[in-house]
Amino acid sequence: MDLSPFQRRRYLSGKTPIEHLFRLSALLGGPQIYVKRDDIMGLSAGGNKTRKLEFLMADAIAQGADTVITCGAVQSNHCRLTLSAAVKEGMRCHLVVEERVKGSYDPHASGNNFLFHLLGVSGITVVPGGTDMKVAMEDVARDLRHQGSKSYIIPGGGSNALGSLGYAACAQEILEQSFDQNTHFDALVCASGSGGTHSGLLAGFHGNHADIPIYGIDVKNPASTQTELINKLTQETCDLLDLPPIPADTVRCNDEYVGPGYSLPTESMVEAVDLLAKTEGILLDPVYTGKAMAGLLGLVRQSVFPKNANVLFLHTGGSPALYAYTPLFYEHWRETETAYEHRAQVM
């Protein structure tokens, strides 16, 4: 697999670490759980979109754009990181924010919304859930063009074939680290949303002849819809890399942990976020990695992985969104931990 023909900006200073989660593994009684820390990459507060933006921003610059336009939900990590990359490149950034849950947009909200303004967003267009986001972004681009700007549109999540190259490169990085650490990974678990991360990993392992099963935990779509999306985007990424197609049965999408819908909390997500913080000191987010970790825990409890397996969890970041969900966790602690009230009284 050759990535050298593609232009690329560098927002990472090296490989992100792979950590062995000893305490969580012991608590579960096996398998051995590892985490790939893509939550601590460059740009503002880190996250998986950074890898995609290395290729997408290089293309925007090559095309002479002075503004990037992208889209996401009201607490979008992708929007935060695209804006951060634009700041680093001296470009403007306009966000199209989809109110996927009616009434959920608050212009004064904390979390990523606060960071949009701190980073100096050029403009935010809020649209109702179900809007055709491609059309909405093209409308913004047309308006900006009339003002003399040249815009470059980045799809939601940075998830097209070019953006997916970021995770084809990550797959290669994981294999190098696996060799260096003398640790073979029997499976990888990641969140599966807009699809670029999941598809890029599939293409990257395929391009490096590595047969590591990837379990995508859906955070938005039913499994049938997500499987179709991942198959299509993986094929487009393989085409870009001049690779043969992957077998269709390679794509694994699990929708048991979506709950009532995208960004809507579930008990298993709250448990997963709370558990990883208290066992390993690692922060997950409520929308992506919290549900993905809930999926990993569920697969472990269903004995999907042998007790002696090594399972790698891809931490795609997103912890700033936690601060928009604080009431949910305080309520969880009140309901489940009598010690919480004791600690509060002592303090």
Direct distance between the N- and C-terminal alpha carbons of the chain, in angstroms, rounded to an integer = 56
The Cα–Cα gap between 183 and 174 comes to: 10
Determine whether 76 is an active site residue: yes
Q: Which of 13, 25, 44, 76 is catalytic?
A: 76
Look up residue 36 and give its two tokens.
């790939």
The answer to whether 157 and 193 have CB atoms below 8 angstroms apart is yes
36: phi then psi, degrees, rounded to nearest 5: -95, 115
In this structure, the number of other CB atoms found within 10 A of the CB of residue 120 comes to 11
Spatial distance between the Cα atoms of 185 and 208, rounded to a whole number of angstroms: 14
Residues 6+ apart with CB under 8 A from 142: none
CB atoms within 10 A of CB 309: 16
Residues annotated catalytic, as ranges: 76
